[in-house]
Amino acid sequence: MEIICESCQSKFRIADEKLPKDKTAFLKCPKCKNRISVAPVAKDAGGTGQPDIEEDFFSFDEDESDGYDASDKPFDFVEEEGKTALLCELDPMLKKTILPVLDVLEYHVTEVTNSREALKNMRYHSYDLIVVNEYFDAKNPDANGVLIYLERLNMSIRRNVFVALITRRFRTMDHMAAFQKSVNIIVNVDNISDFDKILRRGMADFGIFYQAYKDCLT
């Protein structure tokens, strides 16, 4: 089904099987965040079999209201100057290495199990650090919903988020690969034991890179 946002006129395609058959679905435009209502899909309508990536950015809301829900907030309280991190990693062995590092660096960590949960948390909170595996909730690393969301994030928000990509395809600290994937640093799984040193080095470079710009803003 092709969906057109009435606000920004962007066109998106989403597989029919992803939409409720007997009730109206409420989606959010991934570009302008406008709320779009979609009538129930006819029972005889078939999907294309090739859903576009954009479907991962929609928030389905079967209720007609889109009210505030405190249970959706990732943190009840974070002290002043407190740092927050989002961990999008399912491998328990990798998490066993990553989590202690984030704890030592005094991050308040949110762990998620799928892309929809990650996007839901990012809806309510702008994280200082996001650690994401390229295969997190994705069979195709180039169709990773979290990475695509971050790539399309408004730059005024994105430049304040440090993104570390866990991968098997690229070399650790491969700057060209990081640029291509729109992340701040690449960490190869083979070097995960040095995650602490790699992350500290990457964040130090990140701070130096944006220091002049932030000083001008101040």
Does 12 score more than 60 pLDDT?
Answer: yes
Q: Higher confidence at residue 152 or residue 212?
A: 152
42-60 exposure pattern, b = at least 16 Cβ within 10 A, e = fewer: eeeeeeeeebebbbbbbee
State which of 6-10, 14-18, 25-29, 150-154 shows the largest mean pLDDT: 150-154
Task: Look at 16-20, 85-89, 129-133, 189-193 and tell me which has the smallest mean pLDDT.
Answer: 16-20
Structural domains of the chain sorted by starting position, each given as residue range(s) with its CATH number in brackets: 2-57 (no CATH), 73-217 (3.40.50.2300)
**% the chain with pLDDT above 90:** 44
Identify the pLDDT of residue 60.
42
Identify the pLDDT of residue 81.
60
* Residue type present at position 138: A
Identify the pLDDT of residue 48.
43
